[in-house]
Amino acid sequence: MNEINIWNRTLEQTKALPFGTRVCAGKNGDTGTFLGVNRSGTIVVAWDNSKHSKDAKMLACLVEYAFN
């Protein structure tokens, strides 16, 4: 799968990514699902290596955080 390297993008470019885009943190870095950028500029990603990334409640909290 071809993930988008978010370390190579400006904040504005990252904000423009569609919800659910597969991303990575640097070359050969961790991969995850892009959830958005909140008002303070925090990039929110559900990382695949997180023990809670498949937990529906935690994912819902992350999505809510991304849209605040």
Domain positions in the chain: 4-66
Q: Are 16 and 38 in contact (CB under 8 A)?
A: no
The answer to whether the beta carbons of residues 38 and 14 sit under 8 Å apart is no
Tens of pLDDT, residues 44-68? 999 988 777 678 888 888 889 898 8
Q: What is the pTM of this model?
A: 0.86
What's CA 36's distance to the chain center, in Å? Answer: 6
pLDDT given at position 13: 97
